[in-house]
Structures are given as C-alpha cells and as structure tokens.
Amino acid sequence: MGFFSTGQDRGGYLGIRLEDIKGDVTHSHVVWRQQQGMPKRSSPILLDGLLYLANDSGIVSCLDAATGDFHWKERLLGGTTASPVYADGLLYFFDEDGKSILLKPGKTLEVAHENGLDEGVMASPAVDGKALFLRTKTHLYRIETKNDVPGEAQ
C-alpha cells in the first residue's frame, strides 16, 4: 500500500494498492480516500499499520493504514508544518509556536510528554540514535534522551 497527498492546496490522502500498476489507476487501485483533517504540508508517518498525521491547524490523528478510518483525532498543537518523527519508542510532533508533544504509538491517544521551545519549529526534525536535531526559527538544537527514558531530555 502507498499513501499519497492529494495536493498542497487542499489536504487529503489516498491509500493506493501498488500491485500491477499500469496506466490510470484512479478507479482500480485507490483503496481509500480521506479529506477530513489531513495536512497540506507535513508528511505522515507509518508505524505498525497506523498512519500518524498532524494537519496545518494542529489536529493530530491516527488512521488505520489499510482502511483510512480514524482511530482518533484531536487538536493538540497550533499551526504545524514539520513532519512527525518516531524515535526511542515515541512519536514527536512540533508546532510553529514551539510546542511539542510526544505520543505513545497506538490506536488510543496517549500523550507521554508535552514540552516547548522559545521559537517555533517549521523544519522536520532529524534523528540520530538517541539525539533529536531541531531547527527553530532562530536556533539549531540537539536534544538527547537521558538515562534511557524516552522523551526526557538532558
């Protein structure tokens, strides 16, 4: 299965079957469509059959990757441009005002931590081992977990 944004002007995602693709597959291979609450700019993250997304107005959601159905959806952030990342057992989401939320993956919404930075994050973070690199509007941060506790920075 592949997941494709329907375009930057309008948030939306398609779940498309990738086998035997030839020619126009609009009607033959599209398994699901989801328009409600989808991001225009950030990319989703796929983990264990679940698709996690944060739309431009801060609604974070979890979809079943096979069906496109919502498991949960909640406004947790402000304006969001950066794509989420998965590291050290948690999903990391950042907004343009500096708020961050760390979620435990799963079909039920569970916030592990909430943090903040002085400036907002627009660029998608990078992960290197236990280190997370964040570029805010004015700084570059390296944040690393401490004592093997996911989400607890040193």
User: 113 lies in which domain range?
Assistant: 2-153
CATH number, domain of 109, equals 2.40.128.630
Q: pLDDT category, 153, cuts 50, 70, 90?
A: low
In the chain, the number of structural domains is: 1
pTM of this prediction? 0.84
User: pLDDT of 38-57, one tens digit each?
Assistant: 888 888 999 999 999 999 89
Using an 8 Å Cβ cutoff, are 16 and 29 in contact? yes
Q: What share of the chain has pLDDT > 70, as a percent?
A: 91
Using an 8 Å Cβ cutoff, are 93 and 119 in contact? no
User: pLDDT of 92-140, one tens digit each?
Assistant: 999 999 999 999 999 999 999 999 888 889 899 999 988 899 999 889 9
